[in-house]
Amino acid sequence: MQIFRTKSVEQTLAETEESGHSLKRTLGWWDLAVMGVAVAVGAGIFSVGAQAAAFHAGPSVILSFIIAGIVCGAAVLCYAEFASMLPVAGSAYTFTYATLGEVLAWIIGWDLILEMLMAASVISKYWGVYLNDFLHLMGVNFNSNVTIGSFHIDIAPIVIVAFFTTLLVLGTQIGARVDGAMTILKIAVVLFVVVAGFFYVKAENFVPFIPPAQAAADTTANTMMEPLWQWATGMTPSSYGIPGILSGAALVFFAFIGFDVVATTSEETKNPKRNVPLGIMVGIALVIVLYVLVAVVTTGMVSYKQLASVESPSLATAFELVGADWAAKIISFGIVLGLATVIMVLLLGLARVVFAMSRDNLLPRGLSKTGKHGTPARLQILAGVIVAIVAACFNIDVLSDMVNIGTLSAFTLVAIAIPVMRKKRPDLPRAFKIPGNPVVPILVALANLWLMFNLTVLTWIRFVVWLAAGLAIYAVYGYSHSRLGTGELERELKAKKDAQLQASSSGDVALVASVRANVSGPKRGETSGVSPVREHAHGTEPAVVKAAHLAPDQSPVIAQAAEVD
């Protein structure tokens, strides 16, 4: 079927050299590692561990973080293999297009747009909320909400989105440097809080490390808010014990989401086949260490039962319970920094996914036009405007789960695509290979599907509606305008090959050297034994040297010229 047509690796790489539709390579592996930490370590590092400990796993939430980190790390390794082979903008969309077909690539691209648009909007909104809270803690009376007629608008998201959009238009490296500085400051805050928290840790709070399993107390009668697996099987979820560790892993897994965004910058990375996998792996390792440290401090400072007595426990809750109220201000400042860095990376990723889809003409091609700074300026501005409007004017809390399902669907298809590509194109050089193929990628796909089934029924319904809308757009526009479907990509690749062949044969005169195999060496007065065969071109098209040809002195000249095309 034509909807499953795939774009070859050669076609994909050729697109990166198109004038006016190519990106400037400015990023190194450390930029990518910092970017990964920036997008994964947000407000969740101060809250998600405490919630998982209180209601799911107790002190064994530490194991939940390790399990989630391993699953996310394995998924990230799938991205690393593809990025080392296809260092092109678009991340999971581009990888899927080259393996599983156009319609699935469209679905993933559409999912990634949903993920990054919703995530950037939600986090921009929360950034304004936490900014207000931090300023109030510091004694500053500030409210970013303004009323214009009957409309209530939060100006804080508009300001932060406009700031990062401007940086990204001026250059990806500029944005990465600013984001990197803020990320380092954010990590310093996290480490300071962790070190301070260790002074309050008590060994008895880790006992029992794995509390006995019991029926979950927070089951709901609202069918739409039940996890899909629970609704489908009628089973009652449990807390603590081994099931609690696994359900805790499902919860904290979402704190690791964001590394797929890093892969969207492959086309802007120097030496991407080395730097993209390295940056991704260093980033995920740093994130796992930070989250485990915070989990150890949170569960060591107070009993998990004390955390469960609070409606929305966080790291700040643990400090308050031990009488260290001063930590609230530092944690609030860390959250403001944490959310800001996430916003920039999501704005970057959103624009790069749409850029890749536009360059393939599945979306209007004009969106992929790059400016003088080597960035898709008009697209970056459009993305910023949409995110700012959604964040400033709409209540979007209910859409936050859409971020998770969009990411997990992308993770699943990329994992499936690894063994497909290994079988389809074993000849392609891969600077990095995920070990244990095909077992590890299949396990990654199954783990991601399991996490998806832990999302609510309502989230799945909204996801299906979003997919239906996307498929309608593909049917109306993308299918008929696709550069792959119209043959434009194939024609351009052929024209490029013809031009390269013409360029290789346009020299003055090619000489074919025949190295004389004279044991005694050249005679006095002779040159080093190189015999030109220029006369055998007969004044026609210049000759092309295909191979050196060894011949003894006695060989006729025409034999020495046998390799001339």
Domain assignment of residue 283, yes or no: no
Q: What is the DSSP string of 442-479?
A: HHHHHHHHHHHHTSBHHHHHHHHHHHHHHHHHIIIIIH
Structure tokens at 554: 């006695």
pLDDT at 133: 82
User: Per mean pLDDT, which of 219-223, 269-273, 520-524 is the most reliable?
Assistant: 269-273
Pair 365, 429 in one domain: yes
Rounded CA-CA distance 415/417 in Å is 5
421 and 549 inside one domain: no
Residues 73 and 121 in one domain: yes
Number of domains observed in the structure of the chain: 2
Distance CA 99, CA 288 (A): 30
Alpha-carbon distance of 352 to 91, in angstroms, equals 9
Which region holds residue 70: left if phi is over 0, alpha if psi is between -120 and 50, else beta? alpha
pLDDT tens sequence across 218-237: 555 567 767 787 778 877 76
**Residues 431 and 548 grouped into a single domain:** no
Whether residue 497 is contained in a domain is answered as no
Residues 514 and 470 occupy one common structural domain: no
With respect to residue 56, please indicate whether it lies within any of the assigned structural domains.
no
Average pLDDT, the chain: 80
The 10s digit of each residue's pLDDT in 142-165 is 887 787 777 778 888 999 999 999
* One domain for residues 408 and 443: yes
- Whether 30 is covered by a domain: the verdict is no
Same domain, 113 and 153: yes
Instruction: Yes or no: say if 60 and 48 are a contact pair by the CB < 8 Å rule.
Output: no
* Euclidean distance between CA atoms 255 and 295, whole angstroms: 12
Cβ atoms of residues 176 and 31 within 8 Å = yes
Tell me whether residue 255 is in a domain.
Answer: yes
Rounded to 5 degrees, what are φ and ψ at 188? -60, -40
Residue 198 belongs to a domain:
no
Alpha-carbon dihedral sign for residues 116, 119, 122, 128? negative
pLDDT, average across residues 494-522: 57
pTM of the model: 0.76
For residue 285, give both structure tokens.
């390792």
For 523, the domain range is: 508-560
User: What does residue 41 show for φ and ψ, rounded to 5 degrees?
Assistant: -100, 95
The arithmetic mean of pLDDT across residues 185-207, rounded, is 90
Q: Are 483 and 513 within one domain? A: no
Together in a domain, 21 and 108:
yes
Beta carbons of 518 and 553 less than 8 angstroms apart: yes
Q: Could you say which of 442, 463, 490 is where a domain stops?
A: 490
Terminal Cα-to-Cα distance of the chain (whole angstroms) = 41
Q: Which two tokens stand for residue 80?
A: 């690393």
Count Cα neighbours of 406 within 13 Å in the Cβ-side half-sphere. Answer: 28
Residue 55 DSSP code: I
135 and 85, same domain (yes or no): yes
State whether the Cα torsion 514-518-519-521 is positive or negative.
negative
Q: Quick one: 519 and 482 in the same domain?
A: no
Give me the mean pLDDT over the 197-207 stretch: 92
Whether pLDDT at 434 is above 80: yes
Question: Does the pLDDT at position 103 exceed 90?
Answer: yes
The length of the chain is: 565
Among the candidates 490, 523, 546, a domain finishes at 490
Q: Mean of the pLDDT values across residues 7-22?
A: 73
Claim to verify: residue 391 and residue 478 sit in the same structural domain: yes
d(CA 403, CA 46): 19
Lowest mean per-residue pLDDT among 290-299, 302-311, 397-406, 416-425: 397-406
**CATH number, domain at 158?**
1.20.1740
